[in-house]
Structure 1
């Protein structure tokens, strides 16, 4: 196995907690990656065939990890098993298995060698034939028992026979016959139908592995009252598992259903109204609703009430009052369920992006949609770039004559337009200005003070530039000179 060293040098990536082993009664070692965890405890959990497990002492201080095959002490000889748990979780599992501290604990000999594995595979190859032969012998002796499984010890000196029986069976004669036929030491162990299903394994109707084969160690009796509390149809074919007994999962949610049933009215109580009597028909326990009918045997004039409404009518009947009729509240309004798979969607962030785009502004494609799918209107932009004609052109040319070159340059620079090359000449002194009255009527364009000209993008005419150059001093009728700026 390759060792992956972390970049920060703190350790290595390890998968000891989920190493190779059988899924039956698997215990995830979440402390396996902690340095020195395996050396803190001498006890080791070892798993054998199917669900048989044992706890042994590592007295020789062998470095063991999850998945190692070891040879452990047995009577007589030795057995071969797989290490499934080491470290600090082993005492907790021993306490869970009700192993007393003063119990006799055997030890681990060594890691399995090639010779040990040859004997182990030879013994395992005889298990199926031994089980078939032992069933025939039990049938010949007239014993009311079923031999479900046979397990040979690792060295082949002992065989364990697992059997199922409803009553007590005297198998002393059976042991003598089996010892003479197979030439091994015989051990008989009685198990229940649930334990047999756990040893064999399988897939349940839920689509997962059987609970008795994966994690259940203590089996609790299951009764039909668990199905009645949950309002499940008493169909033996649906309630029975692969062991032909009631399913263990019927006990998982019984407590929750019992608590919900306390909040519902009793089945024997009837509701009296002015026109008829309503009887209990069915109930949705988790939703807290009860359905009533005017007939006991079949559904007629059904009315679904909440538990609060039902108790209100029951209290009215106790006081001698009867409502005119039963009216159900609108209980169909439920909140929209959350899609848990939506958080794994690749496009889960696209909705937020669309909302941000709407706040900032609309794109040309969105404007086309708002216009009914037509192309965006470009007539407004085209009219701005076209040169004015007629009276507007004449008015704008006079306005440009009355203005100085400096304000035009600053306005064009503010609008982000290109300026003519070269520095802009500014007057040295600001002289008082004289406003000239014009007899021309004011136009709409002249009233706007800072409105840019429509032909800003076009190069300026040199003739207009020469016209703007006027003498600084102009004689008047009185013989005085006045300064004119622009």
Structure 2
């Protein structure tokens, strides 16, 4: 039963045949592998050998081949062992990409690899490293200015390919004779560049991904330092060079976009004149469209960042003999800074939350102590049945009793006068001011009578009245305990 990965949107399935077992170098995903009859439409098959070496062979025997199969192909002399990496209608596209001419000689596939073929293949591969070390020693003894970077044996072990790097032309005829005598195989010398060597070895680039030359690049274009200048990259050789000690190939990826954006910016040689000083070009954010000017040529001083539109406006004003008051326009607002998408995944986010919790924990004990002290102070206050009262509780008890223990007799003179005052129409203020002292005097005399006669008003000081405990009379007739009504002062 075939394993299929069903897509979530229901548009089809992802066939596992498209990504068979093979080396990651120059890997090509066969997105047409699940189409019925795709492999039989084309006779050409892509075969991969060691590292980045690939070849295209004809399936003349009509073998049923799939991606990942090990096959024996035609070689000169003998045969070679490789792995099928692509079949079907994508093979002609890959041949066109590899610049293979239509009239080129196409070799054929013999068969699928047998156990005997695989045994010879493993034996030949086990000798590659020792052969490379020995050949380097021989080249050094002969005084040749070359570096042998890799050695690849043919599948049947009858031939060896030596990949070397040399800056100048090298006469290696003597070297071939010595190598043939030492290793007893046919010798083939193939010169490669530094970028091809890095692709064969492989590795991880500074971007964190596999090298482009080892994964998908087949054609290498020359890279110059002008590509770094267009992108305003510092000309630091250590940062611009890749693992091959050459300029990074990725410098050419975005050069066209930067060149197009730079056409919208003013020249770096033009200075901007204002009423107070002269500004020189310092740097520019090409993709963002922001130019930074400085009042000094050599270092950044009094920096001002403006848009290209504003820069062209000032240039036109200077051509007409006008000078603006300041470089930046009044309506120019600073662009908001880009938000870091990884800010929420910061390592210090736990420290911030932890410090906040510690601050709260430090404040909680102080609040708890203050609350406990306040509760203890409230508990020390006397109840209504105690003989003594503190000075702090006297005003509170006075307000509470004045609010609760009001006389309820409607015939009371005091309440009657208060009712009259409420029902009088709006008039001169003199009438109200004459009646208010009578009510006040009456309440005062009632309070004195209550303090002298009520048993609860006495304290521990020999039965003297407590001035802080002024109570209104509880008798509905508004009289004291002796039955004597207080005298109302005459108006």
TM over 0.5: yes
Q: For 1:28-50, what per-residue CA distance to the aligned partner results, in whole angstroms no more than 9, with x for missing partners?
A: 11100000000000000000000
Q: Distance in 1 between matches of 2:141 and 2:182?
A: 14
Query: Partner of 1:255: helix, strand, or coil?
Result: helix
Question: Secondary structure at the residue paired with 1:290?
Answer: strand
| Moved segments of 4+, more than 2 Å | 1-6, 11-14, 327-342
The 1-side partners of 2:333 and 2:174 are apart by 69
Unaligned runs of 5+ in 2: 7-11, 345-491
User: Which one is further off, 318-327 or 22-31?
Assistant: 318-327
Alignment of 1:240-389 (within 5 A): 240-328=241-329, 330-334=332-336
**TM-score, normalization by structure 1:** 0.67
Question: 2: CA distance between counterparts of 1:159 and 1:48?
Answer: 13
Paired with 2:283 and 2:41, the residues of 1 have a C-alpha distance of 58
SS where residue 204 of structure 1 aligns? coil
How far apart are the structure 1 equivalents of 2:343 and 2:36?
Answer: 38
Relative distance call for 1:193 and 1:335 in structure 2 (3 A) is closer
CA RMSD in angstroms, aligned pairs only: 2.2
2:55 maps to 54
Q: Which residue of 2 aligns with 1:186?
A: 187
Instruction: Give per-residue Cα distances to partners, 1:335-376, cap 9 Å, x unaligned.
Output: 97696999xxxxxxxxxxxxxxxxxxxxxxxxxxxxxxxxxx
The separation in 2 between residues aligned to 1:335 and 1:324, in whole angstroms, is 27
Cα displacement (A) at 1:86: 0.2
Q: Counterparts of 2:189 and 2:61 in 1: how far apart (Å)?
A: 32
Match of 1:135 in 2: 136
Q: Give the unaligned 5+ runs of structure 1.
A: 343-486
Tell me the equivalent position of 1:172: 173
Deviations 1:231-279 (A, max 9, x none): 1111111110000000001111111111111111101000011221111
- Are 1:77 and 1:155, in contact at CA under 8 Å, matched by a contact in 2? yes
Q: Does 1:125 align with 2:118?
A: no
Q: Which position in structure 2 is the counterpart of 1:72?
A: 73
Distance 1:146 1:209 in 2: 24
Cα 1:235–1:132 shift into 2, 3 Å: same
Match of 1:109 in 2: 110
Alpha-carbon distance change, 331 to 136 in structure 1, aligned in 2, over 3 angstroms:
farther
Q: Contact (CA 8 Å) 2:71, 2:84: kept in 1 or not?
A: yes
The superposition leaves residues 196-232 of structure 1 with CA deviations (integer Å, 9 ceiling, x where unpaired) of 0000000000000000000000000011111111111
| 1:364 paired residue number | none
Q: In the aligned structure 1, how far is the partner of 2:233 from the partner of 2:341?
A: 28
TM-score (norm 2): 0.66
Secondary structure class of the residue paired with 2:56: strand
Report the equivalent of 1:89: 90
Using a 3 Å threshold, how does the CA distance of structure 1 residues 341 and 267 change in structure 2: closer, same or farther? closer
1:133–1:5 distance in 2 versus 1, CA, 3 Å: closer
How many residues of Structure 1 are paired with residues of Structure 2 in the alignment?
339
SS class of match (1:44): strand
Cα distance, 1:170–1:331 mapped onto 2, change above 3 Å: farther
Q: Displacement, 1:302? A: 1.1
- Give CA-to-partner distance per residue, 1:306-351, whole Å, 9 cap, x none: 0000000000011111112222554433497696999xxxxxxxxx
Aligned equivalent of 1:224: 225
Larger helix percent: 2
